[in-house]
Chain A
């Protein structure tokens, strides 16, 4: 009841704000800066470094959009948002696009009047346990104590999973990731559950990482992606296709380093269209110039480069591509054709 009233209020206000602020592209261009709603600190995805500059997987997409629209990847104002304030900030127009590891769900897409334009990271909820527990599957966790963050979808997923497998568990509720890590290390719970990317980051920073394993079961689907308001489809297209330009660049072997060279030497017609080197003007179809995608790729590299720099196996988080590999390599990242 409480939730539906809250969502309803959000929806109505989102609608009003949406009508008032049609033409996000014009607003952004007039302002000269992109307001990008981002996480207030999530390892690998978005967090300011020691100099106060936002870095991370989500932050890189914000920079790519700024490069495509404004011609300068540094023209981004990162607005740190909490889990509670993120959707209102988007609905009220405080941010132009929300790239804050937000899960695409039915009610958020419909009832809240938002559009999830793409999925830039396929995540899912997993479990981490100590090796000495002797557990190799989540199905063996009957009777375990589980550290779980309150007020999130992970809490509901956990309840569903144990109920459907006819098992029982004792929850140890925690407020945030750092507390969860603390409780788990201190032995307050047998298993720690959160998104698999978060588990990997936690495990990488444990003093005895080799004594902990992440169980193979992924018990939920968490497609994370950039979100825009209903009512401004052109702006949604810009965000969506900027993202796909990065994916397509990886598919075609275009990197930040070779994008200039490729644009002048390539003979592949699709790459020519993408980089604005042919007579087709794809950018004009959504109100941008010809070289929007070239700039977006040059900003932080293609999808694979962004992944490798912020989350991949060469970083200390060390995530494998998994579901986020290109479709040609057994993953789900698939960009529609640029035509």
Chain B
């Protein structure tokens, strides 16, 4: 045997793939120019983006922040970028931003709105994130009264005594549940709370205010506007419509004829009516139903009807989640000997709600955006109400895109956060079979 003239003793190092088959070029070839059709679509897409940017970018780049009127904006743009140049007049926002955010809320009380907004997140944290200490849930419980007091002002005892009504409800419920069961105990608790609000609320609050006057300067509802109004209506109706919607969904699936019929009638009636109709009902019709002279706050009226509207939609969303559960889950709950409320609370609802998270959050997002419709009943929503006011000023008449873009951007931030949270929640609760 002769020695081979050459023996490789090490493996050759791998060569990098050819230039066209690696890195960004490969990605582009595979994803953007893989065929005739794909190439064409890529070029068309690029052309569309180019066209959009070419049309809008100069307008954004020419934006003016420092001017006192639209005319001044125009002359600054003309001076800097030549005659006929178009540009955004953001100066309008610099002068009027506070109206878009707070409406006509008194400026010396803006801190109250800010504080209420920050506390809102403190109150929401234990609900949204299970890592937060459970003790903070008590903060969530008292937040409605606290937020109301901060925003509307007045004596602190009104909201406190109103919250005591809920405390009474909880107490009656807790004492009577072992004897009478969930529905009757809940009903009696509700009756007790209503009696409290009707007859004890005024005298007790008055007495306490007399003994220990603590209060903020009251702010009338007609000072509310802009995003303050949208968020107040959005948050309260979101918070109130979820429990109401779950109750309606349970009612619709109930075996009891009356409960089922009433729930179905309520849901179908409300879902069959446009939101604008509900708003007009709130602003116009209720005035006739109520005794003359009672002036029932318009924001409250609108809030109640928006809540009812959202609850009807949520009821159907939650019912869809329940319908998606296999029958075995219900049977297993029965086999464990759980009663109806325990079964719903421990087995059915946690799963049904998890399934419905995307739809529930979609409903919330669209509800929040729908709060701009209150401009039709003369409330000052940020999109139309405040924009109209700003444009009515001779200095800013003719400003068109700027308010819309600003309001749209703020709405996007808020709605996008809600959407990201729902995806986080879905991932966290994901227990399905991989």
Contacts and interface: CB of A to CB of B under 8 A. Distances in A.
* B interface SS class: helix
Interface in B273-305: 280, 283-284, 287-288, 292-293, 295
Interface string B373-403: 0011110100001011111111001101000
B317 to A, nearest CB: 31
* A interface SS class: mixed
B241 interface: no
Contacts of B390: 41
Nearest to B386: A41
Contacts of A48: 99, 104, 389
A315 B397 CA distance: 14
Contacts of B375: 82
Given A41-B388, A81-B378, A49 B292 contact: no
A46 to B, nearest CB: 8
Interface residues of A, number: 44
A81 B378 CA distance: 5
A47 interface: yes
19 contacts: A16-B288, A17-B292, A40-B380, A40-B388, A40-B389, A41-B389, A41-B392, A43-B397, A48-B99, A48-B389, A77-B220, A80-B385, A85-B280, A178-B387, A178-B388, A179-B400, A182-B400, A205-B70, A205-B398
Nearest to B377: A85
Interface in A175-200: 176-179, 181-182
A205 B99 contact: no
* Pairs of residues from A and B, 5 with the lowest C-beta to C-beta distance, nearest first: A47-B392, A52-B104, A41-B392, A41-B388, A92-B287
Interface string B61-91: 0000000001100100000000000000000
B95 interface: yes
Contact of B283 (A77, A85, A315): A85
A177 B398 CA distance: 9
Interface in B1-52: none
A92 B284 contact: yes
B222 interface: yes
A85 B287 CA distance: 12
A79 B378 contact: yes
Interface of A: 13, 16-17, 20-21, 39-44, 46-50, 52, 77, 79-82, 84-85, 88-89, 92-94, 176-179, 181-182, 201-202, 204-207, 315-317
B389 A82 contact: no
Contact of A178 (B295, B380, B400): B400
B287 A88 contact: yes
Contacts of A88: 284, 287
Contacts of A201: 394, 397
Contact of A204 (B74, B220, B391, B394): B394
Contact of B99 (A20, A52, A79, A80): A52
B393 A49 contact: yes
B392 A42 contact: yes
A92 B294 CA distance: 11
